[in-house]
Amino acid sequence: MSGELIDSDAIFAPLGEFRRLGLAVSGGPDSLALLLLAAEFADRHGLHERFVVYSVDHRLRPEAAGEAAYVADAAGRLGFAARVLRWDGPKPKTGIQQAARAARYGLIAAAMAADGAEILLTAHHLADQAETVLMRLAHGSGLEGLRGMDYFAEIGGLVVVRPLLGVDPADLARLVAASGLIPAEDPGNSDRGYERVRWRQMLPQLAALGLDARRLSRFADRMRDADQAIARMAAAAAADIDPVSGAGAIARAELNKLPRAVAIRAVANLLARVGGGQKPHDLAPVETLTDRLRMEPALKRTSLHGCLIDSDGATITVVREAGRKAARQSRVRSEASVTRN
């Protein structure tokens, strides 16, 4: 079915340790190609029962219900169990893509738990990786962002695998065209109101200058190697967290011994652990703070990412901002009340 374009064994054989795999199939050309490759692999090895197909109707477009039904029908004809999941309820007026993504993964995670599926395979491909790197570069990301999307990732407790990250989407489209399946066309994929679409439309121009998707993907791989090395070094930095107060501390002399990139990561890690928030994409404020902590003998109290930072010249102390702490405690009490009720 895939001919010589894509080796389905190379995609699925490395996942042999997992008993059951979920396939996220929207009905677009990329995810239909993933479905076809899974079918080829299952036909060859007699493993159809190992896959479950999930298609989500976000209830955002009238065509979406028919597209999800088409996916379920195609999956059934290929010998797979399939589920159509629906995102019911009110939709937000802003941030709809992020909300839809969170809803999609939440619905699939619940269905996978019921089906005994251990990991979810998505059809993110070479161009998706290139777009991600370009967006994060534009947002001021450090190495953690410039490594792009990982082959394995955890999203809301769900293990996501992206086995097609090295595959050209043109090859996926050819595979689907040869199969006779008709891919869905989501108008959002050409809406320039979305940043990813604007970068997608820039890729041909960048490729003409030598910066094509494969080169960007290779750059992401190199950034991943560098990120892993810096992460290991930063993890060894002697930063202490008080288990009662949640305050953090690191010796200024220890910070000054580290290479600058490692020191920045150590400070970012400390802020994330004390502040309890996710690391921001823009690294510049953390770089500026780290330089000040290393260069100034003492630093008057300053704030960043939900934390208050002090340095007396010998010890750097980080505590959570009172407002953030109160908000977190209120949220915890609210969640506990809901659980009790």
Which pTM does this prediction carry? 0.86
Per-residue pLDDT tens over the stretch 194-249 = 899 999 999 999 999 999 999 999 999 999 999 999 999 999 887 788 888 889 99
Whether 46 and 133 map to the same domain: the answer is yes
Whether 120 and 251 map to the same domain: the answer is no
Q: What is the pLDDT at residue 278?
A: 57
CA distances, 212 to each of 51, 173, 182 (Å)? 34, 18, 28
Residue closest to 175 by CA, chosen among 63, 11, 291: 11
Residue closest to 286 by CA, chosen among 311, 273, 310, 303: 303
Q: How many domains does the chain have?
A: 2
Is 1 inside any structural domain? no
Whether 205 and 242 map to the same domain: the answer is no
Is 175 inside any structural domain? yes
Q: What is the pLDDT at residue 323?
A: 67
Query: What residues of the chain score a pLDDT lower than 70?
Result: 1-4, 277-281, 323-341
Query: With contact defined as beta carbons under 8 Å apart, do 72 and 83 qualify?
Result: yes
Last residue of some domain: 167, 193, 219?
Answer: 219
Q: What is the pLDDT at residue 3?
A: 45
Domain that holds residue 317: 237-326
Per-residue pLDDT tens over the stretch 186-198 = 888 888 988 999 9
Query: With contact defined as beta carbons under 8 Å apart, do 264 and 226 qualify?
Result: no
Per-residue pLDDT tens over the stretch 13-23 = 999 999 999 99
Q: What is the pLDDT at residue 214?
A: 97
Whether 27 and 148 map to the same domain: the answer is yes
